[in-house]
Amino acid sequence: MARMTTDPLAPFLWLDVPEITGGGILGVIYSVAFFRGLDPAEVVRRFSRGDDSGVESGYEVLDEKALDFVEETDGGSGGGHVGVFRVGEWSVAVEPRGWMATDHEVLGELSKGCEVVAVTRHDYAAEHSFEYAVDGTIVTGYLLGHPYHRGGADPDQFNGFMRELGMGLDVPTDKAAWDASWEANWPNSVARAFALAAKVTGVPFTPDLLDRPMLVGTMAEW
């Protein structure tokens, strides 16, 4: 009989695989955003600033397009493409090799008239981040290794969920506290962020979701 696990991070460890051991399906640079209040075609239109409503395809095609874009642009502009599919009342946007979904300027535009939860993993910049925005306003967000430094209009909104996931929210005051905070917050920080996103949205981002048909479109320059 298979052993049951009560580890809340277990379903999300596939998103936190170190580059030295392969980086996982999505690699070490990507964003995933959850939109409530927009259908997938409208999400693609927003990323493209109205130029594209997307073409139905799959994740492999999306990833190939993103890789080609990175090679053409030397990687400084992300993956240039997004794939969006529906899960319940949320549209889920996957941005391989990109980070636009958590950029505050971009997120302010993406979230107008809707609700957005977004997570970015970026090993090279070491700025993994979580953002929550509603109708153009960043409500709360943090860099994943430093959940005690939260910004936004209501930075403490998800503190209860964050504590449930073992995040240390007290600001370190001395070296011992800094060391303890790092040990508590950095390991599996990406998995923790996706566990938090699941608590907020009710949508666990599991690998089988990438098997779904999605609308794939180009992203505008922001």
Q: What is the per-residue pLDDT across 62-77, written as a single tens digit (0 to 9) for each? A: 999 999 999 999 988 9
| Per-residue pLDDT reduced to its tens digit, 3-27 | 555 899 999 999 999 999 999 999 9
Rg (CA), the chain: 17
Please say whether the beta carbons of 82 and 44 come within 8 A.
Answer: yes
Q: Rounded CA gap, 69 and 64, in Å?
A: 9
Q: Rounded CA gap, 182 and 192, in Å?
A: 14
Q: Taking the model in full, what pTM does it have?
A: 0.95
When comparing pLDDT for 51 and 216, which is higher?
216
Average pLDDT (161-183) is 91
The yes-or-no verdict on residue 81 having pLDDT over 60 is: yes
Q: Where are the domains of the chain?
A: 26-206
Confidence of residue 2 (pLDDT cuts 50, 70, 90): very low
Q: Quick count: other Cβ atoms within 10 Å of Cβ 12?
A: 24
Q: Which pLDDT value is given to residue 184?
A: 83
| Per-residue pLDDT reduced to its tens digit, 99-144 | 999 999 999 999 999 999 999 999 987 689 999 999 999 999 999 9
Q: Rounded CA gap, 199 and 161, in Å?
A: 7
Q: Which pLDDT value is given to residue 75?
A: 87
The yes-or-no verdict on residue 201 having pLDDT over 50 is: yes
What is the distance of C-alpha 33 from the center of its chain? Answer: 5
